[in-house]
Each structure stands twice: as C-alpha cells, then as structure tokens.
Amino acid sequence: MTSLSGKIAIITGASHGIGLACARRFARDGAKVVLADVDEEGGKRAASEITSKGGVARFIYCDVAERLDIHNLVAAALDEFDRIDVLVNNAGIADATNFFKLDDVTFDKVLRVNVKGAFLAAQAVGRQFIRQIEAQGEPRRLQTRQPYAIINMSSIDAVMVSEDHVAAAVSKGAVNQLTRALAVAMAPWGIRVNAIGPGTVSTGSVEGLSGGDAEGALERTPLGRFGAPEEIAAIAAFLASDDASYITGQCIYADGGRLALNFTMPQKG
Ligand SMILES: NC(=O)c1ccc[n+]([C@@H]2O[C@H](COP(=O)([O-])OP(=O)(O)OC[C@H]3O[C@@H](n4cnc5c(N)ncnc54)[C@H](O)[C@@H]3O)[C@@H](O)[C@H]2O)c1
C-alpha cells in the first residue's frame, strides 16, 4: 500500500468510474481529495461517501475545458487546503462512431475535454506547484525529492486504433505527448508528470458495451477479463506517491495484456 498521507489531491472526472475509484483510494491512503466534475449530484454524493468513511473530501463543479472553471477549482482547493500536491487529470469522454460518419462537432467535443481540459488543468496546477516551491525559497534545480505530481489518464488508444474510436485515439495520443512535454517543462522544479493507459475497464461507459463488442474486447484481452477501476486507481496512487520519485514522462499501460497481444481485429478460427 502506498502512502499519500497529508497530500492534497485534485481529481477531475471524479463523480464516476476511474476518477471516483482514484478519489476513494487516495482518501484511503491519507490524502485530502478535491473531486472536480460536471456532474454535480454524483460528485457531491461521492464526496459525502468518502467523508462518511472518515476521509476528507470536497466536491467542486468544474468543466475542465473552461479556463475560468479551472481557475475557480484551483482557488477553491487553495481556499480549503492552502496548497495542492497532486493533480489527476482523469476527466475524459469517448466517441463510438465510424471514421467516415464522425462529424467535426463530435471530434471537437472529444478533443476539447480530453486534450484541452488536461492542458488547462496541468498549466494552472503546475503554476501553483511552482509558486509553492518558490515560496519556500528552494533552489530551482533540486537535489531533493519533491512531492508534486501530475497524472494524466491516457488509454491504450494512444498507441492502437480502431476505426470506430478515432477522436478518442487521436486525443489520447495527444495526452501521451502532452505528458512528455509537461514532464520536461516541469522537471526543473522536480515536478513529475506521468500517464496511465488503461485497456478496457468496467465503468459506466464500458458496461454499456453491447454483447458482441464486449466479447470482442475480451477476446483481445489475454487476462480474459476487464480491469476494475480500483486497479487503475492503485497505479495513480503509486505514481502520486514518493515511491515513484524518479519516474517522469512515462505512460504505464494496464490492459490485461492487450498491447502485448498486438492485434486489433477479431481472431478468425
Ligand atoms: N473505462 C475504460 O475502459 C477506459 C479505458 C481507457 C481510458 N479511459 C479513460 O479513463 C478516464 C475515465 O474514464 P471512465 O471510464 O471512468 O469514464 P466515466 O464516463 O465513467 O467517468 C468520466 C467522468 O468524467 C466526467 N466528465 C466528463 N466531461 C467532463 C468535463 N468536461 N469536465 C469535468 N468532468 C467531466 C463525467 O461526468 C464522469 O464523472 C477517461 O479519461 C477515459 O478516457 C477509460
């Protein structure tokens, strides 16, 4: 078990699915969590569930692709907890339309949340990390470990494609490159930036897969099962912890072996 004791973590898209699992896991490991989401009802319910189990949690409404919302999110987190240590850029949406039927509105919508949202949050929180480091009068190039970390939720779609998830694949490819760019930009302050690339994980969106799609996804997953949101949250907890102090600019894939299998078409015979 990793320890996030005393850390202040913002988790976007935390009302449901993987983000909610991250919020629960971080709180269990001792972090104080700020849940950010466009689903206000779900977010408030999630925060009060965590609080009822002895954790410290607060929900803030935030559309990650709106600069003002991100500004208000950072301000609210500081108001409540005085500093921020970790950002989990998890909010994301997918498309399920064949490339030739994919319209530009959907394409924009997916990239707006998955890429612009991650960029805006990372820039605002990264600037706050630097303010905190410089307020302590620490040298720019540090010899010591820093607690600050950003974790971007990518996907195996960053490196493999299906003609039915083109916008999501393009967005997650961008998330991986954003991760590397941020890692380099923030390294002088000792801030670490990494990504997680899940395969198929049982969340609301995936549970909606119809029989054939679900079977197809399982057929391409050597472990023979979908991942659980908690299995992704465990990686986020590790990357946020001091145990990952020398890891930056990486994407850790948790996909039940799908990338190792390395094919996207259904097997015949
Ligand atoms: N579930 C999977 O199989 C899977 C696989 C690979 C990657 N991912 C990634 O993991 C992340 C979480 O996926 P999930 O399956 O838990 O999804 P989910 O749909 O269960 O939850 C996503 C959450 O993000 C919130 N959200 C959507 N748009 C938002 C916005 N503009 N601002 C703030 N919040 C917003 C939703 O309200 C929801 O609470 C996404 O980035 C997704 O691309 C998921």
Domain parsing of the chain, residue ranges: 8-254
Side chain identity at residue 44, one-letter code: K
For residue 258, CA distances in Å to 72, 173, 206, 252 come to: 39, 17, 16, 13
Smallest CA separation from ligand 1 atom 25, residue: 13
178 and 118 in contact (C-beta within 8 Å)? yes
189, pLDDT greater than 50: yes
Give residue 38 CA to ligand 1 midpoint distance, Å: 11
Task: Give the C-alpha separation, 81 to 88, whole Å.
Answer: 17
Give residue 17 CA to ligand 1 midpoint distance, Å: 7
269, pLDDT greater than 60: no
Give residue 12 CA to ligand 1 midpoint distance, Å: 9
Which CATH architecture is the domain 8-254 placed in?
3-Layer(aba) Sandwich (3.40)
Ligand 1 lining (C-beta closer than 6 Å): 12-13, 15-19, 37-39, 62-65, 90-94, 113, 117, 153, 155, 198, 200-201, 203-206
Closest atom of ligand 1 to CA, residue 204? 20
Per residue in 6-17, pLDDT tens? 999 999 999 999
Task: Give the C-alpha separation, 73 to 60, whole Å.
Answer: 6
Smallest CA separation from ligand 1 atom 30, residue: 63
Tell me the residue ranges of DSSP E strands in 174-229.
192-198
Residue 30 Rama label (left phi>0; alpha psi -120 to 50; beta): left
Helix (H), strand (E) at residue 68: helix 67-81
Other beta carbons within 10 Å of 215:
12
Ligand 1 binding pocket mutation candidate from 22, 93, 109, 162 (most atoms within 8 A of CB):
93
Per residue in 50-59, pLDDT tens? 999 999 999 9
The structure tokens listed for 189 are 């302050």
Burial 174-194 (b: 16+ CB within 10 A, else e): bbbebbbebbeebeebbbbbb
DSSP letter, residue 262: -
Per residue in 72-109, pLDDT tens? 999 999 999 999 999 999 999 999 999 999 999 999 99
State the greatest distance between any 2 C-alpha atoms of the chain, in Å, as a whole number: 65
Smallest CA separation from ligand 1 atom 23, residue: 13
pTM: 0.95
Task: Give the C-alpha separation, 152 to 150, whole Å.
Answer: 7
In the three-class reduction of DSSP (H, G, I as helix; E, B as strand; rest coil), residue 89 is classed as: strand
Smallest CA separation from ligand 1 atom 36, residue: 13
Starting at the edge strand found earlier in the chain, the sheet holding 149-153 runs 56-61, 32-37, 8-12, 86-89, 149-153, 192-198, 251-254
